[in-house]
């Protein structure tokens, strides 16, 4: 019983164990089925969400595409409207141009029609005139023939009455006519010459007075100084330097002579070239202000001053050109014009004198109906040779004419520069006007500050040097000292010795005098033979 119970219990346990295992399997199956179901459910839900999202994306894409199509259609319509407007405007412009061309052609056609009608009328008038002229010519020929017949008859009658041949009568008539014409011609020429001289003199005075009154310029001219003030006499020693090296360096760099004498507080700068003298003066002032005076510093300051003076010369030339209203000058001519700022003639500044001559010449030309601009150009450049007369040989008129010709100036300007001192025969009217304006500018009261005593003294010095030579009888300084005429004795000199005397006088002027430009020496020797017939 006990064993049965045990076996039964074992069996029950086995059954329970089997049931337990079955329950586990069932639970596993159920769990697996539920997992599969959940997966399918999840897949279904995911797929439904994906389809829904895809549908939304497609719907949005369709909306965007529809919007883009609408915008594209609007833009296309706008472009079409713009293109249509442009084409319409172009068509309107072309249509207006065609209408304008058509109106122009209509006007031309009307003009041609009128011209044709006028030509037809003129042709008819010409035909009528030709017919009338032919009739008058025929009548004139007929009358001329009648007159010729009458003259021949009268001539024959006169020849018969006078007893002269036709040749003798013609010669007597021509001789009488010639005598009468000569008398009348001489009287007429004298009368017209007198009237012309009076008219020209009166007109010239009126023109000069009017031109000088119209131009108001400063009568007092600037004077170029050649002295430099120093603070004390100790500065003179510093300027000279050890064994004179400083003053030699300054003279070598500037090309001037520096004169240091016993005059207190002054150093004198001497040079024929006014530009070099001005460079030396400014450089010396800079050295005195700087205090460092030695050869290297002198060369540096002189080079710096030369550049400054070059700029100043260019500026003065351009200002003078603008003031005189003369344009288109060569760069070299402008520089030469600026150099005249530092040049004086008898204490009159040459640049201011040239500007004044330019205005007076221009106003004289305008009063006479000539080219005022060309006249101002000739007046402004007439003394340009004075800017280079220290570097070139010859008088400033010839030097200026050569320079102006070299730099492309017109013949009127070149001739005015060459002949404004009446050294040559004036072949052009602008030369005469320039010479008159030059004389007016130089003779203004106060224009040239040189006194009469100094002028006479300079003339006497020239004549005294010339007459100091053996064989010279008389000497005359003319043209403000630019020329000296020497009269040599024919008994004390020969042709060969007179040439040597003329050369010696010119050398004496060069050695003993200081003057701008040149002095022309003309020696005259002649032999006169006189006999008396009893």
**CATH class, 223-309 region:** alpha beta
- The stretch 178-206 carries a mean pLDDT of 69
Over the stretch 368-383, which tens digit does the pLDDT of each residue have?
A: 888 888 888 988 888 8
Predicted confidence (pLDDT) at residue 3 exceeds the cutoff of 80? no
What does the pLDDT read at residue 221? 39
**pLDDT value for 224:** 40
Residues β-bridged to residue 227: 268
Question: With the C-alpha atoms ordered 426, 428, 430, 433, is the resulting torsion angle positive or negative?
Answer: positive
Q: For residue 205, what pLDDT is reported?
A: 57
Of 225 and 418, the one with more pLDDT: 418
Please give the Cα distance from 136 to 134 (Å, whole number).
5
Structure tokens at 25: 């399997």
Q: How far apart are CA 278 and CA 285, in angstroms?
A: 11
DSSP 68-84: HHHHHHHHHHHHHHHHH
Q: pLDDT tens digit string along 354-366?
A: 888 888 888 888 8
Determine the average pLDDT of the residues in 48-54.
Answer: 84
Each residue of 269-315: pLDDT tens digit? 887 777 888 888 888 888 888 888 888 888 888 888 888 888 888 89
**Are 223-309 and 451-526 the same fold in CATH?**
no
Please state whether beta strands 483-488 and 520-524 pair in parallel, antiparallel, or not at all (unpaired): parallel
Q: Is 444 left (phi over 0), alpha (psi -120 to 50) or beta?
A: beta
Cβ atoms 301, 309 nearer than 8 A: no
CATH homologous superfamily, domain 451-526: Cation efflux protein, cytoplasmic domain (3.30.70.1350)
In 293-372 the beta strands, taken as DSSP E runs, fall at: 344-345, 348-349
70-74, 104-108, 159-163, 524-528: which has the minimum mean pLDDT? 159-163
In the predicted model, is pLDDT for residue 469 greater than 70?
yes
pTM passes above 0.75 = no
Specify which residues 269 forms β-bridges with: 258
Look over the chain and give the mean of its residue pLDDT values, rounded to a whole number.
Answer: 80
At 310-351, the pLDDT tens digits run: 888 889 889 888 888 888 888 888 888 888 888 877 667 888
Tokens coding 136: 């008058």
Give the bridge partners for 89, in sequence order: none
| Domain regions of the chain by residue span | 223-309, 325-449, 451-526
Q: What is the DSSP string of 102-159?
A: HHHHHHHHHHHHHHHHHHHHHHHHHHHHHHHHHHHHHHHHHHHHHHHHHHHHHHHHHH
Fold for 325-449, please state it: Hypothetical protein af1432 (1.10.3210)
Query: Which phi and psi (to 5°) does residue 241 adopt?
Result: 80, 175
Tell me the pLDDT tens digit for each residue of 221-275: 334 446 777 777 778 788 888 888 888 888 888 888 888 777 777 888 887 777 8
DSSP H or E stretch at residue 521: strand 520-524
Would you state the pLDDT for residue 485? 92
Compare 39 and 347 and report the one with higher pLDDT: 39
Q: Is the pLDDT of residue 18 over 80?
A: no
Strand partners, 257: 270
- Which tokens in the block code for residue 72? 């594209």
């Amino acid at each position: 019983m006990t064993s049965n119970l045990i076996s039964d219990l074992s069996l029950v346990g086995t059954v329970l164990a089997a049931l337990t295992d079955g329950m586990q399997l069932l639970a596993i199956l159920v769990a697996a089925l539920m997992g599969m179901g959940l997966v399918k459910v999840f897949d279904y839900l995911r797929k439904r969400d994906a389809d829904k999202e895809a549908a939304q994306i497609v719907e949005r894409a369709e909306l965007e595409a529809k919007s883009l199509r609408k915008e594209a259609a609007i833009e296309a319509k706008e472009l079409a409207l713009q293109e249509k407007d442009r084409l319409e405007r172009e068509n309107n412009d072309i249509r207006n141009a065609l209408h304008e061309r058509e109106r122009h052609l209509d006007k031309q056609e009307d003009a041609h029609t009128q011209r044709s009608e006028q030509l037809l009328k003129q042709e008819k008038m010409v035909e009528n005139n030709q017919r009338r002229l032919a009739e008058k010519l025929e009548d004139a020929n007929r009358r001329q023939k009648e007159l010729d017949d009458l003259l021949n008859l009268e001539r024959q009658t006169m020849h018969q009455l006078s007893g002269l041949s036709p040749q003798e009568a013609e010669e007597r008539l021509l001789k009488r006519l010639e005598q009468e014409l000569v008398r009348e011609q001489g009287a007429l020429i004298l009368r017209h010459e007198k009237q012309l001289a009076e008219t020209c003199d009166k007109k010239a005075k009126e023109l000069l007075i009017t031109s000088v009154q119209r131009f108001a310029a400063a009568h007092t001219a600037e004077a170029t100084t050649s002295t430099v003030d120093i603070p004390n006499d100790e500065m003179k020693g510093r300027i000279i330097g050890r064994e004179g090296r400083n003053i030699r360096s300054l003279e070598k760099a500037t090309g001037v002579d520096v004169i240091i004498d016993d005059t207190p507080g002054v150093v004198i700068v001497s040079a024929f070239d006014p530009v070099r003298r001005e460079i030396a003066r400014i450089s010396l002032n800079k050295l005195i202000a700087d205090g460092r005076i030695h050869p290297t510093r002198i060369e540096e300051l002189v080079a710096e001053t030369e550049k400054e003076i070059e700029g100043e010369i260019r500026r003065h030339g351009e200002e003078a050109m603008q003031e005189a209203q003369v344009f288109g000058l060569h760069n070299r001519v402008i520089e030469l014009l600026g150099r005249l700022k530092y040049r004086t003639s008898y204490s009159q500044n040459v640049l201011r004198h040239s500007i004044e001559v330019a205005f007076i010449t221009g106003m004289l030309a305008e009063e006479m109906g000539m080219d005022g601009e060309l006249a101002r150009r000739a007046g402004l450049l007439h003394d340009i040779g004075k800017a280079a007369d220290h570097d070139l040989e010859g008088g400033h008129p010839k030097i200026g004419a050569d320079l102006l010709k070299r730099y492309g100036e017109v013949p009127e300007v070149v001739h005015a520069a060459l002949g404004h001192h009446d050294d040559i025969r004036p072949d052009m009217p602008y030369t005469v006007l320039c010479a008159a304006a030059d004389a007016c500018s130089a003779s203004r009261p106060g224009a040239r500050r040189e006194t009469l005593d100094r002028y006479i003294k300079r003339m006497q010095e020239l004549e005294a040097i010339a007459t100091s030579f053996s064989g010279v009888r008389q000497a005359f300084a003319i043209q403000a000292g630019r020329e000296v005429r020497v009269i040599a004795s024919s008994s004390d000199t020969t042709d060969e010795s007179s040439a040597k005397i003329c050369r010696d006088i010119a050398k004496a002027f060069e050695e003993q005098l200081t003057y701008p430009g040149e002095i022309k020496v003309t020696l005259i020797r002649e032999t006169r033979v006189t006999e008396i017939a009893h």
